[in-house]
Structure 1
């Protein structure tokens, strides 16, 4: 097979803007589908240990179905991925109030985040797709005109490479991620997947999923994946944090220097032999086990099940604008926000 190719088809329209579905195929036969609505990764099919191509992402079938996406299936989340306490933060003495859309807090950019936008197609390459969005000053009450570009690439080494860039004309906050839900088996629960994570600490939170500010060692807790362990082994433990999250839905601190590209960890599913390595430049990863997926629909209109997918959402920590001890999410005019995350697939 030739190196990565890209195919484009019309996929409908939203508010008068045409939406496209792009299919990238690499030299090992893996197939990645992306739409410029919400920057959603619609599908990723890759071989199992027997060479059979299969789906490893949760998803939906049509653009109309993605208009109702309460689980944020495979979207670009922004302008601020994850939660901000009570939707409130301050910059240089100016107070901002965001939409409250997740209990008492703001989640994933507010009422209409980046996941609901038709992104511009900036560049179509043989091996990549670049999409862009201008988030105007005051959108969802965030300050500054924020110009964002996200580039998706599919390598012949079976890597999904996601590169982000953003600039602003007024001081603002930025935290972007890709909210992909993985299931290396393609069906059923992900509790049998085995993880090994390069994360030696996590940020515990209160009953509303807002970090307390503590950075806690994973040792002696259900969050210790420093050695390989099934996702399901301690997911329903009586540990306070897994009770708060009804499983895992926490920011883990990646063991690497701030800003450097490094390993998040590995996931493995034994029956298919599929494995995945994840890398990022971000300081944290939201490890989420799809505890609320039963509220959503997947392909063929079928009801998803609790814990049918897991997320490695590479990002800065939740509520960082209100936690000065956390790495900063502030972006000033003249600066450039960049982020790179890679998911590499193989069999063993």
Structure 2
């Protein structure tokens, strides 16, 4: 039985933004205390409660307890990012012979859709579904020219408690003119629980990819995929996140740790397949990530610097959380040899990822 009883979805106010806009929180209640809380601001997963091997619940995602910090100190905590997740070199790309420019917000480059990306918008409630698999669908319309992107994009994201300890996040988008799109969930996870504090160096990570994309000093891919084997980037078998993070490898030096795309495939898969597994030995919590996307960005929280005040008034510091972001490859609009990010009228962009929690 659902230990909360009654409705499987609860809607509640979450405060106001500095401009007075009210933010709503939607709590999807699962079995055994499993729960995800989603804001209409940025379609943000604000909390995710998961039991450990003894059945004790903990919130395992970094974030804030009030909405203002999500816009005044944007770190993409738990957000739906777009129109283009990850980086576009120089904030520019060409489509059908026309050059488009996205405002730079990461040095000279555009990151996660520009300075006013989807994480900064209040999404509209599209649908709530109760029942054994409670779900929430949020929608956002991005007009032509928004952050420099062509075409009006109609996007949606659906959060579903699709099984015991299982959260499915499904994106869709359509356009009225040729454009590019790459949406993802940008959760920062700490399976030990964010209230307990501590870094994620002891988390055992497996990534089912033989290749990754080396990057330059600005985190822009240098070229084609390279093998992970024989490098600190090899997570084909489980390794603690922190075991090799301080090795004098030039790629680790450039990113202050891991912030790289793992190449799962050359194109989107027909259905989600296992891409990564993370285990926290202390609590026994295990997260498996299944996705249909061709890439997976692994980020070890390198630029958390103690300036962001999170839940329980904790300062988030380097590697207090990790991100596994399913997506197409970074800078794909400028790389003909990468999986395409193009979306044309009459097509539907789809991205399905499943976060499956258990214990060891």
TM range (shorter): over 0.9
Structure 2 distance, partners of 1:259, 1:166, is 17
Q: Which moved more, 1:270-279 or 1:259-268?
A: 259-268
Deviation at 1:71, TM superposition (A): 1.7
Structure 2 distance, partners of 1:346, 1:302, is 27
**Cα pair 1:213 1:325 within 8 Å, conserved:** no
Structure 1: which 5+ runs fail to align? none
Deviation at 1:11, TM superposition (A): 2.0
Q: TM-score, normalised by structure 1?
A: 0.97
> After superposition, where does 1:133-172 map in structure 2 within 5 Å?
133-172=140-179
SS of equivalent residue, structure 1 residue 67: helix
Deviation at 1:283, TM superposition (A): 0.3
Structure 1 distance, partners of 2:25, 2:122, is 12
Deviation at 1:256, TM superposition (A): 8.3
Pair 1:277 & 2:277 matched: no
Q: Which residue of 1 aligns with 2:298?
A: 287
Structure 2 distance, partners of 1:162, 1:143, is 25
Q: Which residue of 2 aligns with 1:333?
A: 345
Structure 1 distance, partners of 2:140, 2:246, is 40
Q: Which residue of 1 aligns with 2:13?
A: 10
Deviation at 1:82, TM superposition (A): 0.4
Structure 1 distance, partners of 2:69, 2:108, is 27
SS of equivalent residue, structure 2 residue 28: strand
Deviation at 1:69, TM superposition (A): 3.6
Q: Which residue of 1 aligns with 2:29?
A: 25
Structure 2 distance, partners of 1:214, 1:92, is 23
Q: Which moved more, 1:329-338 or 1:55-64?
A: 55-64
SS of equivalent residue, structure 1 residue 304: strand
> After superposition, where does 1:122-271 map in structure 2 within 5 Å?
122-126=126-130, 127-186=134-193, 187-254=197-264, 258-260=268-270, 261-271=272-282
Question: 1:39-91: per-residue Cα shift (whole Å, max 9, x none)?
Answer: 00000011111111111111111112222243210000100000000101000
Q: Which moved more, 1:274-283 or 1:14-23?
A: 14-23
Q: TM-score, normalised by structure 2?
A: 0.94
Deviating beyond 6 angstroms after TM superposition, the runs of 4 or more aligned structure 1 residues are none
Deviation at 1:258, TM superposition (A): 3.6
**Cα pair 2:279 2:285 within 8 Å, conserved:** yes
SS of equivalent residue, structure 2 residue 163: coil
Q: Which residue of 1 aligns with 2:110?
A: 106
Say what the alpha-carbon RMSD is for the aligned residues: 1.4
SS of equivalent residue, structure 1 residue 28: helix
Structure 2 distance, partners of 1:313, 1:180, is 8
Structure 1 distance, partners of 2:268, 2:163, is 29
Deviation at 1:19, TM superposition (A): 2.1
Deviation at 1:298, TM superposition (A): 1.0
Q: Which residue of 2 aligns with 1:317?
A: 329
Structure 2 distance, partners of 1:149, 1:257, is 22
**Cα pair 1:28 1:156 within 8 Å, conserved:** no
Structure 2 distance, partners of 1:316, 1:257, is 8
Question: 1:229-264: per-residue Cα shift (whole Å, max 9, x none)?
Answer: 111111111111111110000000115874232111
**Cα pair 2:81 2:119 within 8 Å, conserved:** yes
Deviation at 1:22, TM superposition (A): 0.8
**Cα pair 2:267 2:293 within 8 Å, conserved:** no
Question: 1:3-52: per-residue Cα shift (whole Å, max 9, x none)?
Answer: 98100012234456542111111122211100110000000011111111
Change (3 A) 1:255 1:337: closer
Structure 2 distance, partners of 1:167, 1:200, is 32
> After superposition, where does 1:18-57 map in structure 2 within 5 Å?
18-57=22-61
Q: Which moved more, 1:155-164 or 1:265-274?
A: 155-164
Structure 1 distance, partners of 2:334, 2:34, is 42
Question: 1:212-235: per-residue Cα shift (whole Å, max 9, x none)?
Answer: 122001101111001111111111
Q: Which residue of 1 aligns with 2:77?
A: 73
Deviation at 1:120, TM superposition (A): 0.3
